[in-house]
């Protein structure tokens, strides 16, 4: 299938036909890594940074390793794919950073900056909703029946892009409504056509998006995401995310313990109080009290 949107896709794992198990799709910037995307200088530096220059968000490598391992006694080797709006020139540095963190993955999708510039579309470099929709649908065509869990942040518009993707995929919203939603999100006309073509390429039957997790990097209040419904779960850092995933039965208690240790020993402004995060998660109803009772030494 011709890729009309400038994607650079590196897929290292072909799942069995009809695979309907969990697939974890992660954003990279501000979700796994604390990459600077807020300025032109930050955008320019991204491709030339070395792996050791990239800082992991505390608790996120532990969560990724826990998801890969799975909640049971064996090694699940659960599928993990990454989607980044960075250029493919970042691939080597990103994979080296993952090696340092002990994070395994099955594929990476980047925005092809060079093709974007050659096409005379520099605006695509910072437009994210259209890119995320196309990247997710390209992956879904290869994993049509998977039960996806998506991980993003509140710096760009991941909650909007991911929830719109989930609703389009499920058929919850009609083509006209989807078109209007994409237009309001700033997705260009030709990129909206790309989304439609990629959706048409996803064979039936189709799986669904189970949950969308949003890392509150900017500290936005969780109430801002209530309009997206219960599918979107805002989380304050890696430890709180580990609690939610443990409650869903996707990681084990050891993952929670490791994520807690990571946020406790994090430097400066990244350090968090696990007790406060736990109380907040319980008060918002994203973790049940009965689940918390299962965590040793909390």
Tens of pLDDT, residue by residue, the chain (298 residues): 445 899 999 999 999 989 999 999 999 999 999 875 434 455 455 555 554 457 899 999 999 999 999 999 999 999 999 999 988 988 888 898 999 999 999 999 999 999 999 988 888 988 999 999 999 999 999 999 999 999 999 998 999 999 999 999 999 998 899 999 999 999 999 999 999 999 999 999 999 999 999 999 998 999 999 999 999 999 999 999 999 999 999 999 999 999 999 999 998 878 899 999 999 999 999 999 999 999 876 6
pLDDT tens-place string over residues 113-137: 999 999 888 889 889 999 999 999 9
Contact assessment for residue 170 and residue 111, using Cβ atoms and an 8 Å cutoff: no
Q: Which residues contact 188 (CB under 8 A, 6 or more apart)?
A: 121, 123, 124, 127, 130
Helix axes 274-283, 237-247, angle to 10 degrees: 50
Residue whose structure tokens are 């530096």 = 45
* Per-residue confidence (pLDDT) for residue 7, from 0 to 100: 96
CATH of 7-236, one of 1.10.150, 3.90.79, 3.30.1540, 3.40.50: 3.40.50
The Cα angle at residue 149 between residues 148 and 153, in degrees rounded to 5:
135
Identify how many contiguous H helices and E strands the chain contains and give both numbers. 12, 7
User: Which tokens hold the place of 214?
Assistant: 């949003």
Domain ranges of the chain: 7-236
d(CA 285, CA 287): 5
* Per-residue confidence (pLDDT) for residue 102, from 0 to 100: 96
* Per-residue confidence (pLDDT) for residue 47, from 0 to 100: 52
Contact assessment for residue 61 and residue 101, using Cβ atoms and an 8 Å cutoff: yes
Cβ count within 10 A of residue 269 = 6
């Amino acid at each position: 299938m011709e890729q009309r949107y400038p994607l650079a896709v590196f897929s290292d794992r072909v799942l069995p036909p009809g695979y309907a198990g969990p697939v974890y799709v992660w954003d990279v910037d501000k979700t796994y890594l604390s990459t600077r995307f807020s300025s032109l200088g930050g955008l320019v530096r991204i491709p030339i940074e070395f792996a050791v220059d990239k800082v992991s968000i505390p608790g996120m490598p532990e969560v990724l390793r826990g998801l890969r391992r799975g909640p049971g006694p064996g090694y699940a080797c659960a599928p993990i794919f990454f989607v980044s709006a960075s250029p493919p020139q970042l691939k080597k540095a990103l994979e080296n950073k993952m090696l340092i963190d002990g994070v395994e993955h099955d594929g990476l999708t980047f925005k092809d900056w060079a093709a974007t510039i050659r096409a005379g579309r520099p605006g695509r470099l910072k437009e994210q909703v259209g890119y995320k929709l196309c990247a997710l649908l390209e992956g879904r065509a290869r994993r049509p029946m998977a039960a996806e869990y998506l991980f993003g942040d509140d710096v760009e518009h991941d909650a909007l892009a991911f929830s719109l993707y989930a609703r389009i995929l499920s058929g919850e919203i009609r083509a006209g409504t989807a078109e209007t939603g994409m237009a309001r999100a700033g997705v260009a006309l030709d990129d909206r056509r790309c989304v439609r073509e990629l959706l048409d390429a996803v064979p039936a039957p189709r799986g669904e998006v189970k949950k969308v997790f949003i890392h509150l990097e900017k500290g936005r209040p969780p109430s801002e995401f209530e309009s997206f419904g219960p599918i979107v779960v805002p989380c304050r850092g890696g430890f709180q995310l580990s609690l939610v995933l443990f409650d869903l039965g996707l990681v084990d208690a050891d993952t929670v313990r490791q994520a807690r240790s990571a946020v406790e020993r994090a430097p400066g402004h990244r350090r968090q109080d696990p007790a406060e995060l736990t109380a907040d998660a319980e008060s918002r109803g994203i973790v049940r009290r009965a689940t918390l009772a299962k965590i040793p030494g909390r």
